[in-house]
Amino acid sequence: MKIPKVVKKFAKVFKDNNYQIFLVGGALRDQLLSRENNDFDFTTDALPEEVIKIFPSVIPVGIEHGTVLVLFEGEQFEVTTFRVEGGYSDNRRPDFVNFVRNIDEDLKRRDFTINAFAYDINKKKLIDNFSGKKDIKNKIIRAIGNPEERFTEDALRMIRACRFASKLNFIIEENTFLAMQKLAHLVQKLSNERVRDELIKIMQTDKPSIALEYLRTAGLMQFILPELLIGFGVEQNKFHKYDVYYHNLNTCDAAPKDNYIVRIASLFHDISKPQTKKEEVDGEGSFYNHEIVGAKIAYQILKRLKFSNEDIKKITHLIKHHMFYYTDEWTDGAVRRFIRNVGLENLTDLFNIRDADRIGNGTKQGIPKTFIDFKERINKILEIDSALKVTDLEIDGNILIKELNLKSGPLIGEILNYLLEIVLDNPELNKEDILIAKAKEYYDKKTNYSQQEYGKSPEQLGQF
């Protein structure tokens, strides 16, 4: 085992105080898999209050469950006392926790054999009571003991099994999978926050479709993402090799691994196609406005799963705009309006989704020349110091209030948006004196029209 010096020194403190200390968790498993993971977790026979006595800096992050965070030589180490758990009446958390002095008893409570190793750092000894090394060699996810008992204790373990299969490219052992199918309904008792966190972790694996397919075949998806399941078996047009469901999964796989926002947007980008499908005369299907409907469905899913407002706004925005079609006939003004509507900060993510969407079709290879040309066109326009949003204008609301003798109100925003439209087509007009003249011209027309039609100014009418 490759153990950092600071971890060895940390373990020696326990030894010098006559306590046992073991490395456990994902870092240990990943070392056995030759994967990088420096997120070290530990378990000990020392009680929480005993750990607090032997270290000067300890944070009791979960002391009721035996967990403390030890600050040691610039590092933070999570340490949990050996424990057994009793009763899971809500299928989510133990009714009580008892501390024990035996590592073997502690390991029995863990979820899967590949997560039930313990390494005695001081003795350099690996404990593998459940043949976890054999399962790693055979690339198998297997529940410890009776899988039905493990999943009844905590239903989230069924989703975790799918995630580990995706993360490690392993298969789920038959009896473990059968227990998941039998107990799939228990995930309805989980908090939406816990499900959300697992979904995000799935999105960060190399191939999320592995986990998603296990969720479907185990019967879990119908309780977690029923909207995604509706696309199963819904055929598309000749440009798509796969049905809607598998197209969404393949697009998700093709999206950048390091951005769960783009991965989720890719997974949901065509989620509304079953609802928007219309048969054409030639038998081909069409899906008008599926990006608009899809953004609404994604909003409902993300809201249900307690995603942050920021994540929801970003994901739904990307879905809403993913169906853009560029031609070289677009004017520079049209390109600037596209950038304004999508948002400069979203361009890279949007193009990543479109690239993933193309790969997810299963019938096309490479990036189309149109996309390359469009990106070059955007870059050229961005090199010009031009306005893409109201705040880029060489004029603001305060200047309008002063020059037009107006009060602050919606009319100011309307005039600024009018000026932006002018500048989008003609960037050279973005000069204060020109914009003031254009604003006066616009306001005079509004005033004359209102007085002729109603005998009152725009402000008196309260229209703006």
Q: Residues 328, 329, 332, 338: is their CA dihedral positive or negative?
A: negative
pLDDT level of residue 156 (50, 70, 90 thresholds): very high
What local confidence, expressed as pLDDT, does residue 451 receive?
Answer: 61
The mean pLDDT of 336-356, rounded to a whole number, is: 93
pLDDT of residue 406: 86
Residue 187 lies in a domain: no
What percentage of the chain carries pLDDT values higher than 90?
Answer: 67
2 — pLDDT class (breaks 50, 70, 90):
confident
Does some domain include residue 69? yes
- DSSP collapsed to 3 states, 8-41: HHHHHHHHHCCCCEEEECHHHHHHHCCCCCCCCE
pLDDT at site 109: 85
- Look at residue 89 and tell me whether its pLDDT is greater than 70: no
Residue 378: inside a domain, yes or no?
A: no
Choosing from 119, 135, 151, the residue where a domain stops is 135
Q: Is residue 23 part of a domain?
A: yes
Q: What is the pLDDT of residue 453?
A: 60
Stretch 85-93: mean pLDDT, rounded?
A: 59
Domain membership of residue 91 (yes or no) is yes
What sign for the dihedral angle of Cα 405, 410, 413, 414? negative
- Are residues 249 and 263 in contact, defined by beta-carbon separation less than 8 angstroms? no
The pLDDT of residue 35 is 86
Say if residue 19's pLDDT is above 90.
yes
Amino acid 444: pLDDT? 87
Q: Kindly report the CA angle at 156 between 154 and 162, in degrees rounded to 5?
A: 130
Domains held by the chain: number: 2
> HEC profile for 225-252?
CHHHHCCCCCCCCCCCCCCHHHHHHHHH
Asked if residue 79 belongs to a domain, the reply is: yes
Q: In angstroms, how far apart are the furthest CA atoms of the chain? A: 94
Q: Which of 135, 152, 186 is where one domain is finished?
A: 135
Is 78 exposed, middle or buried (CB count within 10 Å of its CB: 0-12, 13-18, 19+)?
middle
Location of structure tokens 């107990």: 183
For the segment 269-275, the average pLDDT, to the nearest whole number, is: 94
Question: Could you count the other beta carbons within 10 Å of the beta carbon of residue 453?
Answer: 9
What value does the mean pLDDT take over residues 119-123? Answer: 94
CB burial class (10 A; 0-12, 13-18, 19+) of residue 387? buried
> For position 382, what pLDDT does the model report?
86
pLDDT given for residue 128 in this prediction: 95
The encoded tokens of residue 190 equal 């989980």
Residue 368 — pLDDT band, cuts 50, 70, 90? Answer: confident
Q: So what's the pLDDT on residue 217? A: 98
Domain that holds residue 129: 5-135
Q: For residue range 431-445, what is the model confidence (pLDDT) as tens digits? A: 999 999 999 999 888
Hey, which of 183-197, 269-283, 352-366 has the most confident mean pLDDT? Answer: 183-197
Q: What is the pLDDT averaged over residues 246-275? A: 96
Q: Is residue 214 part of a domain?
A: no
* pLDDT score, position 388: 83
Q: Whole-number mean pLDDT of the chain?
A: 90
Question: Is the pLDDT higher at 174 or at 99?
Answer: 174
Q: How far apart are CA 262 and CA 206, in angstroms?
A: 14
Q: Mean of the pLDDT values across residues 89-109?
A: 75
CA pair distance 464, 410, nearest whole angstrom = 5
Q: Is residue 350 within 8 Å of 320, Cβ to Cβ? A: no
Find the mean pLDDT for residues 53-66. 91
CATH classification at residue 79: 3.30.460.10
Contact 322, 354 (CB under 8 A): yes
Token couple for 51: 């750990």
Percentage of residues in the chain having pLDDT higher than 70: 91
Single residue among 84, 118, 135 that ends a domain in this structure: 135
In a domain? residue 242 = no
Q: What is the pLDDT of residue 464?
A: 46
